[in-house]
Amino acid sequence: MVSVLVLVMGGSALGMSSCAAPPGADVGDGAPVKKAPPLPIATDRILRALEADNAALKRQLAEGQRPDVYTDLINAHEHLAKLKDFERYRPAARAANITATVLVASPEFTIMGKGDKGEPGMSENFKALLEAQRAYPDEIIPFATIDPKDSKKLERLQEHVAMGAKGVKVYSGHSNFYDGPLLPKEMEPVFAYLEQTGLPVNWHINLAKFMDDFEAVMARYPRLNVMVPHFGVVFWRADGPAMARLSALLQKYPGVYVDTSLGTREILLDGMAAIEPHRAAFQAFFDTFQNQIMWGTDSVITGNPEKTPGWYHKVIWATRDHLEKDVFTTELAAGYSRYYQKGRDGEGRFQGLALPPAILQKVYVDNVRRWLRLPLPALPATPAP
């Protein structure tokens, strides 16, 4: 009964303004919006949890689906602005059986879509991640980050590892951060340290542009424990040369991983649409590299009023349904959504990859645990088809 009541109340129950940022203005969650006074935190947490439960119940009723057969998922790729923002994401994550989330430290530019791209913002955000991890120690896996231009980058990284960082995020291969070769001389001690320690690395690299650079780094440091998110940003052209080179790279270096995150909002939907015509090629890619792929959302967890537990629920399940189902729908792409793609049907329908349960178990749990150097489940149960 409570669920039905809160569902009817909708967004007003959360005490948030219904005013969304204007289309196009919210590049990185920095658009100004008018907010209602916050509710007491205990009440706010209860209402957010109920909203996520309502979204899950609505999904089950609409699809008649059985309970989720995948458990103990680890979201391998997220960003977080502040602790209070995590409490919007957390109910939706728990409802989707996500037991832990890797949160990577980020510069102001990544969180807000504008501002500095290096220190001191990187370290300030890392401290925010540690604060969140103290509040939810079993649910947050914090990563530090480094600014290649920082003269104290290695010392700072080692200090952050001592403070609790479980890995490191590197942005230098991102088109918005690229500023010369990926392996300048001043980064050599950093990569030597990363290879020696086996520290997990999330390195955003646009392999369609910077593959030669990355291959040179791996030739020099072949034992790096590195994950390149977004399929190395080559998913836009599955039939192009960059995808073939990515396959060759994964075959050569078993310690290199990719994640399935595509981006947020329109980029997520455009990415799924780009993969659709090459479904068979991606199914074959997952089959070949099933031990080197992990799942992540990369929705960027901030205080943007749009990002309620219900919104995170839609994002999480769009990214999962894309892997699990033959055909699925997401409200993010429906005709009434601000992200509706002209020319697609109004139901928000996509064709998914329908991957086998044995592969999904690796993508959701086993591979990310290996990357993070966590013990694998003693007897991982393969869900029934």
Taking the CA of residue 372 as centre, how many other CA atoms within 13 Å lie in the half-sphere pointing to its CB? 24
pLDDT tens-digit series, residues 51-107:
666 766 566 656 666 667 899 999 999 999 999 999 999 999 999 999 999 999 988
Q: Is 343 exposed, middle or buried (CB count within 10 Å of its CB: 0-12, 13-18, 19+)?
A: exposed
How confident is the prediction for the chain on average, in pLDDT? 85
Q: Looking at residue 375, what is its pLDDT? A: 86
Amino acid at 16: M
**pLDDT at residue 17, as a whole number:** 32
Q: What percent of the chain has pLDDT over 90?
A: 65
Contact 367, 349 (CB under 8 A): no
Tell me the mean pLDDT in the region 271-282: 95
What pLDDT, on a 0 to 100 scale, did the predictor assign at position 69? Answer: 84
Is the pLDDT assigned to residue 381 strictly greater than 90?
no
The pLDDT assigned to 172 comes to: 86
Burial of 62 (0-12, 13-18, 19+ CB in 10 A): exposed
**Residue that wins the pLDDT comparison between 162 and 66:** 162
Determine which of 65-69, 211-215, 297-301, 342-346 has the lowest per-residue pLDDT on average.
65-69
* Structure letter (DSSP) for residue 364: I
User: What pLDDT score does 382 carry?
Assistant: 57
pLDDT at 384: 57
pLDDT tens, 118-155? 889 899 999 999 999 999 999 999 999 999 989 999 99
pTM: 0.81
Which residues contact residue 255 at a Cβ distance below 8 angstroms, ignoring those fewer than 6 apart? 222, 223, 224, 225, 226
Closest CA to 21 of 367, 306, 243, 364: 306
- pLDDT at position 23 over 50: no
Give dist(CA 126, CA 343) in Å, integer: 42
Ranges 96-110, 170-184, 305-319: which has the least confidence: 170-184
